[in-house]
Amino acid sequence: MAGTDKQQDMLAEGPAIILVEPQLGENIGMVARAMANFGLAELRLVSPRDGWPNEKARAAASRADHVIDATVMFDSLSEAVADLNFVLATTARPRDNFKPVRGPEEAAADLRARFGGGQKTGILFGRERWGLTNDEISLADEIVTFPVNPAFASLNIAQAVLLMSYEWMKTGERAVRPPEEELVPASKRHIDSLMIYLDRVLDERGYFRTDDKKPKMMDNLRALFTRPGFTVEELAVLRGVFASLEKFSPKRPRGSGAPDAG
């Protein structure tokens, strides 16, 4: 998706993303791009197979250079998490341990709360082919598991990072959301103006069969236009439609009823 022309402040906060023994530089680059999309910027690599830096990673990052440039490499996972207060480990498979297991949405909300409290947090992602070992998971505080098809549970590393990054971004206040048009709720004055107009044009076209039924019919019309909570803009559209009908509809004798009444 193309970015907007308006310059926006770059979001760069939140948990560290920690990749354990990633293989392809392209995968690391796609992880960096996913992080940048959703406001994360701290990428840590544990013993990447092809070393670091990696030009293939930069090319695949699609201009997420701030993530690539700040990436730090570690020789062991214990070193990569040493300064963190809280760590999540991602896995698609059930594990035999006593760690709490959360879904992505709940886990991201907890990370946001910890971030707000000043804690340093991180999320572990395993190898492309077989994920994290039990010993590596033991270094985490909790597990996050994605709700995936049990018959096809394998996610590539960039997909997994994208999912967690997206859930992280949802918990923030600065996420880019679809713009909502600011519509002004109609006041009683606007409703009254429409009702006066309808009273006149309907009367001119013989809509009210008898004078004694007119008050009740007008009450029903007022209830119709009041119940949905119309906006000023919506009433203006209706007024334009009615005005068009008024222009091309002949006047009818009083009491002749609606045009389709027989």
205-249 confidence digits (pLDDT tens): 888 777 888 888 888 888 887 766 778 888 888 888 888 877 776
| Alpha-carbon distances, residue 246 vs 60, 203, 252 (angstroms) | 62, 11, 12
Q: Which two tokens stand for residue 89?
A: 């480990």
Name the DSSP class of 124: E
Structure tokens at 60: 């695949």
Q: Which is more confident, 132 or 152?
A: 132
In which band, very low, low, confident or very high, does the pLDDT at 10 lie, cut at 50, 70 and 90? low
Tokens 């992080």 identify what position? 35
Q: How many Å apart are CA 139 and CA 141, to the nearest integer?
A: 7
pLDDT at 172 (0 to 100): 79
The residues near 21 (Cβ < 8 Å, ≥ 6 apart) are 46, 47, 48, 49, 126, 127
The burial of 40, by beta-carbon neighbours within 10 Å (0-12 exposed, 13-18 middle, 19 or more buried), is given as buried
DSSP secondary structure string for all residues of 94-159 = --SS---EE-HHHHHHHHHHHHHTT--EEEEE-BTTTB--HHHHTTSSEEE-----TTS----HHH
Beta bridge partners of residue 88, listed in sequence order: 123, 142
pLDDT above 70 for 95: no
Whether this prediction's pTM lies above 0.85 is answered by no
**Domain 16-170 CATH class label:** alpha beta
pLDDT at 259 over 60: no
Domain locations in the chain as residue ranges: 16-170, 188-248
Is residue 1 predicted with pLDDT exceeding 50?
no
